[in-house]
Amino acid sequence: MKPMTLNVDLNDLYAFQALVTFRSFKAAAEAIHLSQPALSRRIDKLETSLGVRLFERTTRRVSLTMAGRSFAPRAQQILKDLESAIADVGDVNPHRTGLVTVACVPSAAYYFMPKVIAQFQLHYPRVRIKLIDSSAGDVYDAVISGQADFGLSFTGAPQPDVRFLPLVDEAYVAVCPRDHPLAGRKSLGWREFYSWPYVWLDKTSGNRNLLDQALTGIVPEKPSVCETRHVTTLLGMVEAGLGIAAVPGMAMPKAGHPFLATIPLNEPTVRRTVGIVKRTGQELPHLAGELEAMIIAINASEGQANDR
């Protein structure tokens, strides 16, 4: 029996991946340095070779067909596997190029990544790191879909498609301006917290969902002054004097904030565990594995330093 042959090359797959990402022929063509007609020809060639239509095209938008949605993660994995195989040939050296994509909640990006990226760049100066900083749910989705090599998030509802490696267990703290009447307090209960003007996270936030579950039965005396999606925005609202807030401890600078003070929250103390998120059964590409190892090593060394 004669084996089936497909007239597909890597350029076709890169063109497909670009169009999946940008959903625009103009933006995708610019991203991979092609003219729009050349990009269109590559997509047409790929569709002809596969015998299916991968995109629905209208004058306003480009969207994936059912076949396109099925093919997209497989094409992405093919390209990742190939890039990983090429990277793994030969000894580790500073001339390697590549891309490592990490999805992370913003507080974890702020806490973990600056020092890790700085160290990683010393070993691999030509490797780019892309951070997808988003909500906890989006981090899990990015890891499961293959959009990110791995993620940094906190524990939520168990998911069969991911595994979680815990790194840091931390408590939520209250944050207020340094000239606020609460500044300098040794602790603050949640009921008293809610008696002050406060800013809060909206229901799309993973932190908000975790706090709502932990604080069942504690009803605020009044609604929040405003709601935001991200902790970083929340801190900006506090700094502007709009109210106090509750944030994960790692969202605050280790050396202290120049304008904000933190107060331990109790009654009850609410904690979360932050760690690395990977797809079940996934073996990371070499460069992503190197970055993951640095995160684990740096976190462990800082944990030992804090214990002294």
pLDDT at position 60 is 72
**Residue 131 pLDDT level (bands cut at 50, 70, 90):** very high
**Residue 1 pLDDT level (bands cut at 50, 70, 90):** very low
Same domain, yes or no, for 157 and 176?
no
**End-to-end CA gap in the chain:** 69
Helix axes 10-22, 66-88, angle to 10 degrees: 120
pLDDT at position 3 is 47
Q: Which domain holds residue 194?
A: 168-272
The CATH number given to whatever domain includes residue 33 is 1.10.10.10
Same domain, yes or no, for 267 and 191?
yes
Same domain, yes or no, for 226 and 189?
yes
Question: How far apart (Å, rounded) are the C-alpha atoms in residues 31 and 47?
Answer: 21
Return mean pLDDT, the chain.
87
pLDDT at position 78 is 84
What does pTM read for this prediction? 0.68
With a pLDDT cut of 90, the percent of the chain lying above it is 49
Residue bearing the bigger pLDDT, 144 or 200: 200
Same domain, yes or no, for 264 and 297?
no
Residue 35 lies in a domain: yes
Question: How far apart (Å, rounded) are the C-alpha atoms in residues 185 and 182?
Answer: 6
Same domain, yes or no, for 235 and 189?
yes
Same domain, yes or no, for 94 and 156?
yes
Secondary structure of the chain in the HEC alphabet? CCCCCCCCCHHHHHHHHHHHHHCCHHHHHHHCCCCHHHHHHHHHHHHHHHCCCCEEECCCCEEECHHHHHHHHHHHHHHHHHHHHHHHCCCCCCCCCEEEEEEECHHHHHHHHHHHHHHHHHHCCCEEEEEEECCHHHHHHHHHHCCCCEEEEECCCCCCCEEEEEEEEEEEEEEEECCCCCCCCCCEEHHHHHHCCECEECCCCHHHHHHHHHCCCCCCCCCCCCEECCHHHHHHHHHCCCCEEEEEHHHCCCCCCCCEEEEEEECCCCEEEEEEEEECCCCCCHHHHHHHHHHHHHHHHHHHHHHC
Rounded to 5 degrees, φ, ψ at 258 are -65, -25
Last-in-domain residue among 71, 98, 121? 71
Tally the domains of the chain.
Answer: 3
Same domain, yes or no, for 181 and 251?
yes
pLDDT at position 171 is 96
Residue 293 lies in a domain: yes
Residue 281 lies in a domain: yes
Residue 200 lies in a domain: yes
The CATH number given to whatever domain includes residue 214 is 3.40.190.10
Same domain, yes or no, for 157 and 281?
yes
Residue 1 lies in a domain: no
Residue 77 lies in a domain: no
Same domain, yes or no, for 206 and 257?
yes
Same domain, yes or no, for 173 and 266?
yes
Residue bearing the bigger pLDDT, 118 or 146: 118
Across residues 129-147, what is the average pLDDT? 88
pLDDT tens across 197-251, in order?
Answer: 999 999 888 899 999 999 998 989 899 999 998 898 999 999 999 999 999 999 9
Across residues 168-176, what is the average pLDDT? 96
Same domain, yes or no, for 186 and 125?
no
Question: How far apart (Å, rounded) are the C-alpha atoms in residues 131 and 212?
Answer: 28
Same domain, yes or no, for 158 and 173?
no
